Amino acid sequence: MKNKLSAAIGLMLALSISSTCFAANNSTITPVNSILGDATLTLDQVLNDIEKNSVSIQTKDQKILLYQRQFDRDNMNAALINNSGTSEANYPSGQYVNIKLTTDVIPKADEQNIKDAKHDKDDSLQNLKFSTEQQYLNALTNEDQINTINDQIKNVDQQIAQTNVKIANGQLTNNDLQSLQVQKSQLEASLNQPKAQLQQNLLSIKQTINMDLDGDLTLVPAEKSFVKYDDSNIEDKINKAVDNNYNISKIDNNLDILRIKEDIYKQYSHNDASGEVSTGLSIEDLENSRTNTILTIKTNLWNGYYGLKSLEDAVETEQAKVASAQSTYDTTEAKVQQGVAVQLQADSAALALKSEKINLKNAINNYMVTVEQFEYNLTQ
């Protein structure tokens, strides 16, 4: 019997080593693909490049491979033991528990680790796409805002030139000129924020797709159309999302594994209750964690929903501002046609309208990306 067991253990070790080598030799880690030099990219191209080039995503791929290798080794060990014909009678009292843990628990825990790592990778990838999409759209609106402010500065310069002529003719005073100069200074100062934000947007995108930070990145224009989220039966949607959430099923699977482990300790760990007690406490902790996790998921989803409603209100506010700016422009343009206002005033009103439209576009982009993310969170 001892010879039979020794041979089984020897075979188990040999195949364990060979399976590890097999996994190492047959698992290739995709190298990071860098984008060198300058690039002009669409939103779809940027999002597609994330999975190929993102260092953080490739790191998670490596983690999956490592867990797979661990499972291959442990599953092979379990198969060798099961096929060896060994039983509790072959071991001193209380020692067979480790054999049963090796065959009945460890491979299941490895499988759960693989599932968790894959879910973590998929979830991280999707959230990275959401944040990058937001950076992309913000970069475009910041570019628009910079261009509009520069146009407004040119408009003020023209007003200053006209004012200087009128001052020379005695029609206006220096006070009229000073107000325009202050306006120009304020516009020039207002360029700093969108310029800084644009650089931050572009840097974030470059880092995410592993592009050369010194390269020039040009983004092809894109924008979202406003479609109000259908929040009918929102409570039912959130409750179903909680019931189907991956983290709950993960806890349930881990509880099943712990209960198998507890049963093994009860059956095979003679005169030593430490393993059974420890596992029982782990089960209690995980059951409490399940309750807390349900509450956290539900709270986060409701917070996400009300955040979405707040962004919806922001869109409606910007729509009202655009309508007001449009009315001002229409009135000013009519006065120009009547000869009671000059074209520069209409140009100024047109630029103010353009600026409000950019703010509206930004609000819509923020809202629609958040809708996408909220709908995704309801499926997790």
Q: What's the 3-state SS for 237-273?
A: HHHHHHHCCHHHHHHHHHHHHHHHHHHHHHHHCCCCC
Q: Check residues 287 and 11 and name the one with the higher pLDDT.
A: 287
Whether the per-residue pLDDT at 20 is higher than 50: the answer is no
pLDDT per residue as tens digits for the range 181-232 = 999 999 999 999 999 999 999 999 999 999 999 999 999 999 999 999 999 9
Whether the pLDDT of residue 364 is over 50: the answer is yes
Domain extents in the chain: 227-380
pLDDT for the residue 95: 84
Q: Write down the pLDDT at residue 173.
A: 86
Q: According to the model, what pLDDT value does residue 36 have?
A: 87
Average pLDDT, the chain: 91
Q: What DSSP state is assigned to residue 171? A: S
Q: CA-to-CA distance for 328 and 334, rounded, in angstroms?
A: 10
**pLDDT, average across residues 56-69:** 96
The pLDDT, as a whole number, for residue 176 is 85
Q: In angstroms, what CA-CA distances link 132 with 108, 200, 333? A: 36, 12, 40
Residue 12, pLDDT above cutoff 50:
no
pTM greater than 0.75 (yes/no)? yes
Instruction: Report d(CA 5, CA 120) in Å as an integer.
Output: 41
Q: How far apart are CA 60 and CA 68, in angstroms?
A: 12
Instruction: Give the whole-angstrom CA distance, residue 218 versus residue 202.
Output: 9
Closest by Cα among 274, 280, 247, 248 to 261: 280
Give the pLDDT confidence of 92-124 residue by residue, as tens digits.
877 899 999 999 999 999 999 999 999 999 999
- DSSP assignment of 293-355, as one string? HHHHHHHHHHHHHHHHHHHHHHHHHHHHHHHHHHHHHHHHHHHHHHTSS-HHHHHHHHHHHHH
Percentage of residues in the chain having pLDDT higher than 90: 82
Per-residue pLDDT of 311-332, as tens digits, reads 999 999 999 999 999 999 999 9
